């Protein structure tokens, strides 16, 4: 459903009508009926297992995030760290899948994906540390949400606002959207990491991407914007965030991988460190 909002908003920006709401379900269903082609000279087992790995990790993330939102006392100790780890796994699955396909374009895509992971994880983790400091060193998502319920959303404070903007950029890269889509690069790498995938493995990668498109904005809402956790309010905030992401996606050209690295390790890391320092001073 979220993917449909993405495609529809994109179409409207380009002055088109856009696909019907059920389009993505149809796409996934169709892919499951298609023939699966295994590349000769590739590692078959890892080629087929990689999408499943990424899918499981993203489902688990979505479950943990949803659980924390529904009942804040249910979350287990350190779940935010688990979520952080799980969010890296889809990217790693993509890298494993691409490198086991044996396609040169896919391996270029994989190496770019690897660089992107290293680039965006650093500022993202700093942002999360800032928020942990802000909510008194709690490493449970539930307590972070409760803290915001009592003292107002994190985003209202200077450190929260800075960290929010930085992590919005980071999830843009995590989702593989422009301007940070160098690893997929439809025009130059012809799908890059996904080039050899057909049939249900491709469908699973698409599903993983769809689940991340739900889970990542929800994660941001829980971290920064959880002043009110009514179901409708959360849904509204989610749509606002999603449209913001899609707007950034459609109005920016692709960055080269070195430009993206410089952007994440330079300005964004400095900003996120500033957010940590602000949070330490209680701002």
Partner 1 sequence: MDLKTKVLTKSLWVFHAACSPCNNCDIEILDVLTPRHDAERFGIILVGSVRAADVLLVTGVPNRKTAVRIKKLYEQAPKPCFVIAVGGCACGRVMFRDSYNSPCALDELLPVDAYIPGCPPKPEALLAGVVKVIQKLRGE
Question: Which residues make up the interface to partner 1 (CB under 8 A)?
Answer: 7, 11, 14-20, 23, 26-27, 29-30, 33-37, 186-187, 189-191, 194-199, 202
Cis ω for the linkage preceding 179 (within 30 of 0): yes
Q: Which is nearer to partner 1, 18 or 152 (CB)?
A: 18
Question: Least separation, in Å, of the C-beta of 55 and partner 1?
Answer: 18
Distance CA 274, CA 88 (A): 24
Q: Which is nearer to partner 1, 36 or 274 (CB)?
A: 36
Q: Which is nearer to partner 1, 198 or 252 (CB)?
A: 198
Question: Least separation, in Å, of the C-beta of 2 and partner 1?
Answer: 17
Question: Least separation, in Å, of the C-beta of 32 and partner 1?
Answer: 9
Closest listed residue to residue 252, CA positions, set 169, 193, 148: 169
Q: Are the CB atoms for 42 and 101 separated by under 8 Å?
A: yes
Question: Least separation, in Å, of the C-beta of 251 and partner 1?
Answer: 16
Q: Which is nearer to partner 1, 104 or 267 (CB)?
A: 104
Question: Least separation, in Å, of the C-beta of 20 and partner 1?
Answer: 8
Q: Which is nearer to partner 1, 39 or 152 (CB)?
A: 39
Q: Which is nearer to partner 1, 155 or 189 (CB)?
A: 189
Distance CA 214, CA 220 (A): 11
Question: Least separation, in Å, of the C-beta of 174 and partner 1?
Answer: 21
């Amino acid at each position: 459903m979220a993917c449909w909002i993405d495609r529809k908003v994109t179409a409207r920006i380009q002055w088109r009508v856009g696909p019907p709401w059920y389009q993505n379900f149809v796409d996934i269903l169709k892919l499951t009926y298609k023939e699966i082609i295994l590349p000769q000279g590739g590692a078959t087992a890892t080629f087929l297992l990689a999408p499943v790995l990424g899918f499981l990790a993203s489902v688990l993330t979505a479950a943990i995030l949803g659980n924390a939102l529904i009942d804040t006392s249910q979350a287990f100790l350190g779940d935010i760290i688990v979520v952080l780890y799980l969010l890296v796994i889809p990217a790693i699955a993509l890298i494993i899948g691409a490198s086991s396909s044996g396609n040169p374009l896919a391996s270029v895509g994989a190496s770019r994906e690897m660089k992107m992971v290293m680039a965006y994880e650093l500022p993202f983790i700093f942002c999360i540390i800032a928020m942990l400091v802000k909510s008194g060193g709690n490493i449970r998502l539930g307590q972070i949400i409760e803290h915001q319920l009592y003292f107002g959303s994190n985003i209202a404070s200077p450190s929260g606002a800075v960290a929010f903007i930085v992590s919005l950029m980071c999830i843009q890269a995590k989702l593989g959207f422009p301007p940070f889509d160098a690893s997929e690069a439809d025009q130059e790498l012809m799908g890059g990491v996904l080039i050899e995938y057909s049939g249900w493995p491709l469908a699973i990668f698409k599903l993983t991407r769809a689940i991340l498109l739900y889970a990542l904005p929800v994660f941001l809402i829980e971290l920064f914007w959880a002043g009110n956790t009514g179901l409708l309010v959360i849904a509204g905030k989610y749509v606002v965030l999603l449209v913001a992401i899609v707007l950034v996606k459609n109005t920016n050209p692709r960055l080269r991988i070195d430009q993206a690295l410089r952007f994440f390790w330079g300005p964004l890391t400095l900003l996120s460190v500033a957010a940590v320092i602000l949070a330490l001073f209680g701002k």
